[in-house]
Structure 1
Amino acid sequence: MRKGIAISAAAAATVAMTSMAVAPASAAPLRGRGPHGVTIEIATVNGSGCPKDTAAVAVSDDKEAFTVTYSAYTAQAGGNVASTDWRKNCQINMKVHVPQGFTYAIASTDYRGFASLEPGASAVEKASYYFQGMQDTRSISHNLKGTYADNWQFSDVNDVAQLVYKPCGEERNFNINTELRVTKGTDATKTSFISMDSTDGSYKTTYHFAWKRCP
């Protein structure tokens, strides 16, 4: 298991959503505990960062959030690694089943991982998500620069006015796109890497729900 208790890289960014036409949902967003009966099923997983059986999704007991855990999501460059390993990506399409009368948006997202960057090296974590049949959100990128060897965490928080809800009464899968990139350091014989995976499951991406009742 990788060591490094302190999370030394943290950033918050506001995600600007593209304007979309959705069915109205009544009342204010419900943060915190969600309705009973929420389940998530992975429909498809594609990408060099998440080979078969290396990505898993779980809903929290209080239905406030769901997490995506990766076990083979690492981009690396320099040394003897393959020239194609500098960029890894993962696209997950999932079915989020919610009780009748409710809909949801993503209020905030927490990304966690580990990076080891040689002097002169840099790394990027990039992500977006959207409902099937609707426009993609604007991608948000976060950067790290060498020298660096520690856990990292980035958080994206959406303003209430910018929340995009699944249209009420419609079945639409939820899509998540993530990407990791890394460049070589000044000494190209040494390897630098960034990971969004963990042997103990502590490095994961957490998506926090905002709930609303449908009219």
Structure 2
Amino acid sequence: MHFLAALVPFMGLAFAAPQAAPKNVKIHGVSLLGSGCPPKSADVQIDATGSLFEATFSEYQVQSGPNTRASDWRRNCKLTINMEYSPGFQFSILKTDMIGFAEIPAGAKGQCINTFSFTNDAEKHVDYVMKLNGHYSGAFDLASQAGVASWSPCGGSTAILNMNTACSLSPTHLPALIAVDHISGKLKVKFALQWQSCRK
């Protein structure tokens, strides 16, 4: 099953913590792996409720044009979060926010997809798609919200949430760039969870 999120641009998106979260949410492990997050180049911040997340990447750069190769044209980073929470709840991704910098010439386009899924249920995932069409030059701050939610399974108190951030450029012969924001030195992906009680 595959869902596509609608993209809506916002500047300075503020995430509010969901009110129906379980009392106890614990994060037992976070791992990062991919060409966009070499060792010691990425970090994940999680709020006290376990519902607001911010992943930052300091070496995430996608580049096309002369003297580049296939490995430069696409980058990805997979974030895996092992969660434990009070029984009787389930969660889904409420919204995401992506902040970075891009130089896209006329005739070129960039795309970033944040894909969320649950381990053992990879077929049921949600894609948050961000598109940057040339000519574009400068920082970007874009948020998206899913039209259809994909909820974690009921009947348990643990879940492994996966997020894969993949950015690419085309056509590859034109010089273009998607990279970290010049001010913060980071490319950021923020996302919020929404919770609900499982039906008995």
Q: TM-score surpassing 0.5?
A: yes
Return the index of the structure with the highest Cα Rg.
1
Q: Structure 1 segments of 4 or more deviating over 6 A?
A: none
TM-score normalised by structure 2 residue count: 0.76
Q: Please name the residue that 1:124 is paired with.
A: 111
User: Cα–Cα, structure 1 residues 56 and 198, in superposed 2: closer, same or farther, change >3 Å?
Assistant: farther
- What SS class does the counterpart of residue 116 from structure 2 fall into? strand
User: Which residue is equivalent to 2:7?
Assistant: 11
Higher strand share: 2
5+ residue gaps, structure 1, are 1-9, 14-29
- For 1:207, the equivalent position in structure 2 comes to 191
- Residues 79-128 of structure 1: per-residue CA shift (max 9 Å, x gap): 33334201111112111233455432211111221101223221111121
| Alignment correspondent of 1:150 | 138
Distance 2:31 2:194 in 1: 24
- Counterpart residue identity of residue 131, structure 1: F
CA RMSD for the aligned pairs? Answer: 3.1
CA distance in 2, matches of 1:47, 1:41: 21
What is the CA distance between 1:71 and its match in structure 2?
1.2
Give the counterpart of 1:112 among 74, 99, 106. Answer: 99
Number of aligned residue pairs: 186
Q: For the residues of structure 2 that align with 1:41 and 1:60, how far apart are their CA atoms?
A: 14
| Distance in 1 separating the partners of 2:95 and 2:20 | 15
Distance in structure 2 (CA, Å) of the matches to 1:43 and 1:182:
28
Q: 1:117 to 1:81 in 2, by over 3 A?
A: same
